[in-house]
C-alpha cells in the first residue's frame, strides 16, 4: 500500500514525486529505478522504501497528484451532455500528452503483473471515480438526458475506447475522436430499456 500524506514531511514527498516524474520524462518509465529516484530527490533508499514498496507505487502517487484529479473527473456544469464531451476530450488531451502517456502506460503496464499495485490503482483511483460518475449518470438518465441502459456499461462505452487505444492499439486519441465517440454513445436507443423510457 502507498503511504498517506501525513506519514512524511510534505517537502520530501513532493521532492520524491517530482524526481520520479522528471526521471520518467528524461529516460522513459522502464529505465527509472528506485535508486535513481532516491538520488535525485536527495533521500536515502531506505526512506524511499519505507514509504513506497515499489517503483509502481511511487508512480501511482505521481499520477494521482499530477494527472488524475484535474483530468479524469467528470465535470459538473449542470449540462450533462456538455460535461461528457469535456470529460472525454480530457482523456484525449491526457492520452496525447507525451509525458502523461509515458506515466500512464508505465503504471498500467506494471499493474498487469503487480497485484498489489493493481489493487491500489483500482481502489484509490478507478472505483471511487466510477462510483461518483455512476450517481451522475443515473440522475441524468432519470432526467432523460442520457440513454436508459446499464449505467456502468454506459460509462464503459465512453471511456474504454480511449483506454483501448492507449494500451492496445496505440492509435492516437484526438479530440475529434472523443467527440465522435460521445455522439455515438449518446445515440444508443435501447431496444429493451433497463429503466422506464423518459417522456418528452
Nearer residue to its own copies within complex by CB, 43 or 111: 111
CB atoms within 10 A of CB 7: 10
Among 77, 169, 199, 200, binds its own copies (CB under 8 A): 169
Provide, rounded to whole angstroms, the least separation between the CB of residue 33 and its own copies.
13
> How many CB atoms within 10 Å of residue 1?
12
Q: Is position 77 an interface residue for its own copies (rule: CB under 8 A)?
A: no
- And the C-alpha cell for 184? 455515438
Q: Which of residues 137-166 bind its own copies (CB under 8 A)?
A: 149-150, 153, 156-157, 159-161, 163-165
Question: To the nearest whole angstrom, how small is the minimum distance from the Cβ of residue 78 to its own copies?
Answer: 22
Q: By rule CB under 8 A, what count of residues binds its own copies?
A: 43
Contact in structure between 155 and 183 (CB atoms under 8 Å): no
Q: Pick between residue 5 and residue 119 the one whose CB is nearest to its own copies.
A: 119
73-81: long-range contacts at Cβ-Cβ below 8 A with a sequence spacing of 24 or more?
73/129, 73/132, 74/129, 74/132, 74/133, 74/136, 76/136, 80/136, 80/140, 80/143, 80/145, 80/146, 81/145, 81/182, 81/186
Measured between alpha carbons, how far is 58 from 37 in angstroms, rounded to an integer?
Answer: 9
* Contact positions with its own copies (CB under 8 A) in 78-137: 105-106, 108-114, 118, 122, 126, 130
| 188 contributes a contact to its own copies by CB under 8 A | yes
Q: Distance between CA atoms of 155 and 192, rounded to whole angstroms? A: 18
The contact set with its own copies (CB under 8 A) reads 28-30, 105-106, 108-114, 118, 122, 126, 130, 149-150, 153, 156-157, 159-161, 163-165, 167-170, 177, 180-181, 183-185, 187-192
Amino acid at each position: 500500500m502507498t503511504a498517506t500524506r501525513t506519514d512524511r514531511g510534505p517537502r520530501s514527498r513532493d521532492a520524491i514525486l517530482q524526481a520520479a516524474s522528471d526521471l520518467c520524462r528524461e529516460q522513459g518509465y522502464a529505465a527509472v529505478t528506485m535508486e535513481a529516484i532516491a538520488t535525485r530527490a536527495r533521500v536515502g533508499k531506505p526512506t524511499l522504501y519505507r514509504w513506497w514498496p515499489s517503483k509502481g507505487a511511487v508512480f501511482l502517487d505521481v499520477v494521482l497528484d499530477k494527472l488524475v484529479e484535474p483530468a479524469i473527473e467528470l465535470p459538473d456544469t449542470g449540462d450533462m451532455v456538455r460535461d461528457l464531451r469535456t470529460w472525454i476530450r480530457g482523456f484525449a488531451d491526457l492520452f496525447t500528452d507525451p509525458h502523461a502517456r509515458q506515466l500512464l502506460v508505465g503504471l498500467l503496464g506494471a499493474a498487469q503483473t503487480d497485484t498489489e499495485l493493481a489493487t491500489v490503482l483500482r481502489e484509490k483511483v478507478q472505483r471511487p471515480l466510477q462510483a461518483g460518475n455512476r450517481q451522475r449518470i443515473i440522475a441524468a438518465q432519470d432526467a432523460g438526458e442520457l440513454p436508459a441502459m446499464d449505467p456502468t456499461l454506459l460509462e464503459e462505452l465512453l471511456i474504454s475506447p480511449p483506454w483501448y487505444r492507449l494500451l492496445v492499439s496505440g492509435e492516437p486519441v484526438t479530440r475529434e475522436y472523443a467527440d465522435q465517440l460521445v455522439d455515438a454513445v449518446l445515440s444508443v436507443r435501447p431496444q429493451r430499456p433497463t429503466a422506464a423510457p423518459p417522456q418528452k
